[in-house]
Structure 1
Amino acid sequence: MPNPYAPRPSGAPGPDPDEVEAHRASVAAREHGDGPDPATGGRPGRPPRRPVDPEAARQGTRLVLWFGLLMLASLLATALPLPWRLGGLAVVGAAVVLGVRALRRTWRAGVRGTMTFALSAGLVATLGLGATILAVIPVWDVETERQDCMDRAITLTARSSCQKAYDDAITAWLDSLSR
Structure 2
Amino acid sequence: MNNPYAPPRPGGQADGWGAERPLGARPAGSPPEPGRPGHEPAPDGQQRPLREWTGAPQPHTPPPDPEAVREATRPVGTVVMLMLATLLVSGLPLPWQPAALAFGLPALVLGIRAIGRLVRAGLGRSPLIALLAGGLAFTSLMMLTVGSSIALWSIQMENQRCVANALTISAQDACAESYQEALESAVSGWASLLSPGG
Under TM normalisation by the shorter chain, which class is it? 0.7 to 0.9
Cα distance change on mapping 1:48 and 1:147 into 2, 3 Å: farther
Tell me what 2:75 maps to: 63
1:73 Cα offset (Å)? 0.8
Matched residue count: 158
TM-score (norm 2): 0.66
Q: Residue in 1 aligned with 2:88?
A: 76
SS of the equivalent of 2:118 reads: helix
| Match in the other structure for 1:163 | 176
2:43 alignment partner in structure 1: none
d(CA) in 2 for partners of 1:103, 1:96: 11
> Where in structure 2 are there 5+ consecutive unaligned residues?
1-15, 22-26, 41-48, 193-198
Look up the equivalent residue of 1:100 and give its one-letter code: I
**Deviation per CA, 1:62-101, whole angstroms, max 9, x where unpaired?**
3222211111110112112222222211100111122123
Higher relative contact order (CA 8 A, sep 6+): 1
CA distance in 1, matches of 2:81, 2:113: 15
More strand by share: 2
List per-residue Cα deviations over 1:83-125 (Å, max 9, x = no partner).
2222211100111122123212222332233111111111111
Give the C-alpha shift of residue 26 in structure 1: 4.4
**Would you tell me which structure has more helix in proportion to its own residues?**
1
Percent identity over the alignment is: 34
Question: What amino acid maps onto 1:89 in structure 2?
Answer: L
Letter in 2 for 1:92: G
> 8 Å contact 1:67–1:95 — kept in the other structure?
yes
- Report the CA distance between 1:19 and its aligned residue: 5.9
The alignment's C-alpha RMSD in Å is 2.8
CA distance in 2, matches of 1:153, 1:60: 51
Q: Where do residues 27-106 of structure 1 align in structure 2 (5 Å cutoff)? A: 27=52, 38=54, 42-45=55-58, 47-106=59-118
| Structure 1, 67-76 or 151-160: larger mean CA deviation | 151-160
- Runs of 4+ in structure 1 displaced over 4 angstroms? 9-13, 15-19
Taking structure 1 as the reference length, what is the TM-score of the superposition? 0.72
